[in-house]
Amino acid sequence: MRRIRIFVAYDGTNYCGWQIQPNGITIEEKLNKALNRLTGEDIRVIGASRTDSGVHALGNVAVFDTESPIPPERFSYALNQRLPEDIVVVKSDEVPFDWHPRYQDNISKTYEYHIYNAQMPNPLKTRYCTFVSFPLDIGAMREGAKYLIGAHDFVSFCNIRTNTQDTVRTVYDLTIEKKDDEIVLRITGNGFLYNMVRIIAGVLIRVGRGFYTPEKVKEILEAKVHTSEGATALPNGLVLVKIDYK
């Protein structure tokens, strides 16, 4: 028996998120089925990040245990033959049997939130960007973003349905860049609460629009109450870029 780790990229548009559920097709389910077809074993992957319905990934991580003699690095190729085009196993390797993708010291995760900011929508951007038609003030968004960097109780920036007790997280970095009509928020931290990146994106879009002042971000953070869920930005703009294990 060996433990194999896989790095998984997917277009989340056609999936009800990562985690298996009764009423829709999920990434986890597709991976389990491909592993079953490949090895004949009843394999259940353990994922690092349970991305929401419609959210994309370039580097989610998962592990599974197998008796298969396939060399660790060959699993990526073998699985890609058995997966739909919108799920790709980018890399595979072997890890120690007690290695768990969620319970590791010094994990850092990087997400990007993509906004298409123009007068008219662009049909080649709708799948991977949220469309915002009113002009966004990048300077104000950056000013608001700086309050979020560091260790904070992010309870104001998570969905009320979260079942986590400890809502303190550390944001290592949060940058906002604009290229042509596309704005990218890139955020790195030691972990993110349920809907946290989408609520941060939504609040910063309100700042960019002038609906909130940059200081309002600090106010929301310090209030420590669930009031910002209405701002939750749409899932299609979100990508889990990578998970680093130090």
Q: How far is 198 from 196, CA to CA, in rounded Å?
A: 6
User: What string marks each residue from 71 to 90 as x (binds a copy of itself by CB under 8 A) or -?
Assistant: -----x---x----xxxx-x
Can residue 1 be called a binding residue for a copy of itself (CB under 8 A)? no
Measure the CA dihedral 136/137/140/142, to 10°.
80
Touching a copy of itself, residues 122-161 (CB under 8 A)? 122-124, 126-128
Cα 185 to Cα 10, 136, 202, distances in angstroms:
19, 13, 11
Residue 173 annotated as catalytic: no
Interface with a copy of itself includes 239 (CB under 8 A)? yes
| Contacts of 135 by beta carbon, 8 Å cutoff, 6+ apart | 117
Catalytic pick from 11, 52, 65, 166? 52
Does 117 participate in binding a copy of itself (rule CB under 8 A)? no
CB 59 within 8 A of CB 242: yes
Q: Which residues contact 80 (CB under 8 A, 6 or more apart)?
A: 88, 89
Which tokens go with 110? 């990087």
CB of residue 10 vs a copy of itself: minimum separation in angstroms?
5
CB of 19 to a copy of itself, least distance (A): 19
Binds a copy of itself (CB under 8 A): choice among 25, 46, 58, 140: 58
* In the complex, least distance from residue 81 CB atom to a copy of itself, rounded to whole angstroms: 12
| Comparison of 57 and 176: residue with beta carbon closer to a copy of itself | 57
Torsions phi, psi of 153, nearest 5? -80, 110
What span, in angstroms and rounded, lies between the C-alpha atoms of 196 and 192?
6
Q: Does 166 bind a copy of itself (CB under 8 A)?
A: no
| Euclidean distance between CA atoms 223 and 231, whole angstroms | 16
Binding-site residue numbers are 111
4, 9, 136, 183: which one binds a copy of itself (CB under 8 A)? 9
Catalytic residues, by residue number, are 52
Q: Where on the chain is the footprint of a copy of itself (CB under 8 A)? A: 9-11, 56, 58, 76, 80, 85-88, 90-91, 120-124, 126-128, 239
